[in-house]
Amino acid sequence: MEQVLAGLRAAAEPTRLRLLVLCGQGELTVSELTDILGQSQPRVSRHLKLLCEAGLLDRFREGNWVFYRLARGGPEAELARRLVELLPPEDPVLGLDRERLDAVKRQRAAAAATYFRANAEQWDRIRSLYVDEREVEAALLSLLPEAGIADLLDIGTGTGRVLEVTAPRVGHALGVDLSREMLAVARVNLERAGLANCTLRQGDMYQLPLAGGAFDAVVIHLVLHYADRPERALAAAARVLRPGGRLVVVDFAPHELEFLRAEHAHRRLGFADAEIMGWCRDAGLVPAPPVRLAGEPLTVSLWLARRPEPGPAPLPRGSAARVGAV
- Residue 84 maps to which CATH number? 1.10.10.10
Diameter over CA atoms, the chain: 82
97, 58: one domain = yes
61, 146: one domain = no
97, 142: one domain = no
Q: 325 pLDDT band (50/70/90 cuts)?
A: very low
pLDDT surpassing 80 at residue 116: no
Q: How many structural domains does the chain have?
A: 2
Mean pLDDT in residue range 268-278: 93
Mean pLDDT in residue range 180-187: 89
Mean pLDDT in residue range 10-37: 92
Q: Is residue 37 part of a domain?
A: yes
43-59 per-position pLDDT tens digit: 999 999 999 999 999 99
SS3 string of 149-165? EEEEEEECCCCCHHHHH
- Residue 297 maps to which CATH number? 3.40.50.150
Q: Which domain holds residue 28?
A: 2-102
Q: Is residue 159 part of a domain?
A: yes
Q: Is residue 109 part of a domain?
A: no
Q: 63 pLDDT band (50/70/90 cuts)?
A: low
Q: Please, what is the average pLDDT of the chain?
A: 88
Look at residue 251 in the predicted model and tell me its pLDDT: 96
pLDDT surpassing 90 at residue 105: no
Percent over 90 (pLDDT), the chain? 62
Cα–Cα distance for residue pair 94/107, rounded to 1 Å: 20
173, 248: one domain = yes
Helix ranges (DSSP H) in the chain = 2-11, 14-23, 30-37, 41-53, 74-86, 92-127, 133-142, 161-166, 180-193, 230-239, 258-264, 273-282, 319-325
Look at residue 18 in the predicted model and tell me its pLDDT: 94
Q: If we measure between CA atoms, which residue out of 142, 86, 94, 76 comes closest to residue 293? A: 142
Q: Is residue 321 part of a domain?
A: no
pLDDT surpassing 90 at residue 217: yes
The DSSP code sequence of 189-218 is HHHHHT-TTEEEEE-BTTB-SS-TT-EEEE
pTM beyond 0.85? no
81, 179: one domain = no
pLDDT surpassing 70 at residue 323: no
Q: Is residue 112 part of a domain?
A: no
175, 288: one domain = yes
Q: Is residue 311 part of a domain?
A: no
Whether the CB-CB separation of 70 and 78 falls below 8 Å is answered with no
The burial class, CB within 10 Å (0-12 / 13-18 / 19+), for 5 is exposed
